[in-house]
């Protein structure tokens, strides 16, 4: 289908012509067509998703309450954006209570790969769900680099989280040396390839692309870098799982995302939201939520 196809030509084309034109496209282009045809109101092809990853912050429960009080005031259309706060395990219950029914959900930063039983310090998926903590992060680069979480670990966690019905932000991303060495796509693919065949519900599986060199450094990927890499991730999903899954899967950008760069980054077709560290610990995180949810 050439970009110059006129409305008249398209209307005149037979169903067979159209099917033939779509069949001739690459999987990645098919994904774009499916995304365009299934776009909801407001122009975005996929519902946005923004997560605040508080990591081991803030220091006090008073600040948790202040932040939640600010976020509760955010004006956003829940049909356009999923909003999730991943507080520390000691703060999740307080955050959930403080947010009330404003539509912001709660995520667990480090869900366990084991279930109920004698596993000191672990948070089983079923227990989290029972408490109403509906999202989790899996494979964050800090878990991988500081605590030895392996790609195999992420796959066990993925299976457990899905079995419990949790929604997942599955984190991948390259180091600075890997980007400079030209292996960005290969690294992302190696972190994803075991996970993709395990996905059972593509509405509940979100890919969080977080270049390690941009995390907590203030060095944000340019919109072009993020878009190019995320388009390649979507193409990989198309190759492995088909165009319909690639069109559906949401891909977040993470790494020094902030109210100042949310607009330029989210204007790109393959950036469906954000996973935010430092900027989610400030009241004006609301601006990011509202930008995606208007």
Residues acting as catalytic residues: 140, 210
Measured from the CB of residue 82, what is the shortest distance to ligand 13P in angstroms? 16
The alpha carbon of residue 262 and the mean position of all alpha carbons in its chain are separated, in whole angstroms, by 14
Stretch that binds ligand 13P, among 65-73, 126-134, 181-189, 273-281 (CB under 6 A): 273-281
Comparing CB distances to ligand 13P, the nearer of 86 and 247 is: 86
- Among positions 160-199, residues that touch ligand 13P (CB under 6 A) are none
Q: Decide if residue 277 touches ligand 13P (CB under 6 A).
A: yes
Stretch that binds ligand 13P, among 99-107, 197-205, 245-253, 270-278 (CB under 6 A): 270-278
Q: Which residue is it, tokens 């979480």?
A: 149
C-beta of residue 112 within 8 angstroms of C-beta of residue 122: yes
21: left (phi over 0), alpha (psi -120 to 50) or beta: alpha
Instruction: Calculate helix-pair angle for 61-72, 285-292, nearest 10 degrees.
Output: 30
- Among positions 38-57, residues that touch ligand 13P (CB under 6 A) are 53
- Among positions 133-162, residues that touch ligand 13P (CB under 6 A) are 140
Stretch that binds ligand 13P, among 6-14, 122-130, 237-245, 272-280 (CB under 6 A): 272-280
**Cα atoms in the Cβ-side hemisphere of radius 13 Å centred on 207:** 30
Exposure string over 119-143, b if 16+ CB within 10 A, otherwise e = eeeebbbbbbbeeebbbbbbbbbbb
Q: Decide if residue 255 touches ligand 13P (CB under 6 A).
A: yes
Q: Decide if residue 266 touches ligand 13P (CB under 6 A).
A: no
Residue number of the CB closest to ligand 13P reads 277
C-alpha to C-alpha distance for 294 and 288, rounded to whole angstroms: 10
């Amino acid at each position: 289908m050439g970009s110059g196809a006129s409305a008249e030509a398209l209307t005149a084309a037979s169903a067979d012509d159209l099917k033939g034109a779509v069949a001739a496209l690459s999987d990645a282009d098919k994904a774009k067509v499916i995304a365009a045809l299934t776009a909801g109101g407001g122009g975005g092809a996929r519902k946005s998703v923004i997560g605040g990853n508080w990591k081991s912050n803030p220091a006090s429960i008073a600040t948790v309450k202040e932040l939640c009080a600010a976020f509760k005031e955010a004006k956003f259309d829940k049909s356009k954006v999923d909003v999730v706060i991943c507080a520390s395990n000691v703060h999740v219950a307080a955050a959930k209570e403080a947010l009330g029914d404003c539509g912001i959900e709660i995520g667990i930063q480090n869900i366990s790969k084991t279930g109920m039983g004698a596993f000191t310090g672990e948070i089983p998926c079923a227990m989290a769900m029972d408490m109403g903590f509906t999202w989790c992060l899996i494979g964050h680069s800090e878990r991988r680099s500081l605590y030895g979480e392996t790609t195999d670990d992420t796959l066990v966690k993925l299976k457990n989280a899905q079995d419990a019905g949790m929604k997942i932000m599955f984190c991948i991303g390259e180091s600075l040396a890997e980007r400079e060495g030209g292996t960005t796509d290969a690294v992302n693919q190696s972190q994803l390839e075991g996970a993709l065949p395990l996905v059972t519900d593509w509405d509940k599986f979100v890919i969080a692309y977080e270049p390690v060199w941009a995390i907590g450094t203030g060095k944000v990927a340019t919109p072009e870098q993020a878009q190019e890499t995320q388009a390649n991730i979507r193409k990989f999903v198309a190759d492995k799982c088909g165009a319909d899954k690639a069109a559906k899967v949401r891909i977040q950008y993470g790494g020094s995302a902030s109210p100042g760069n949310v607009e330029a980054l989210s204007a790109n077709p393959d950036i469906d939201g954000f996973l935010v560290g430092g900027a989610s610990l400030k009241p004006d995180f609301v601006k990011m939520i509202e930008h995606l949810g208007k």
